Amino acid sequence: MHPLYSELIEQSIKAKKHSYSPYSKFSVGAALLTSTNKIYTGTNVESASYSLSICAERVAFTKAVSEGEKKFKAIAISASIKDYIYPCGACRQFMYEFGKDLDVIIIKSKKDFLIIKLADLLPGAFDKRSLKL
Ligand code: THU
- Residue from 20, 88, 118 whose mutation best tests the ligand 1 pocket (most atoms within 8 A of CB): 88
pLDDT of residue 24: 98
CA distance 23 to 118: 29
Q: Which residue has the least CA distance to atom 10 on ligand 1?
A: 55
Active-site residue, from 57, 67, 69, 97: 57
57 is catalytic: yes
Q: Residue 1 — very low, low, confident or very high, per pLDDT cuts 50/70/90?
A: confident
54-103 confidence digits (pLDDT tens): 999 999 999 999 999 999 999 999 999 989 999 999 999 999 999 999 99
Q: What confidence tens digit (pLDDT) does each residue in 104-127 have?
A: 999 999 999 999 999 999 999 999
Q: With 80 as the cut, is the pLDDT of residue 133 above it?
A: no
Q: How far is the CA of 121 from the centre of ligand 1 (A)?
A: 17
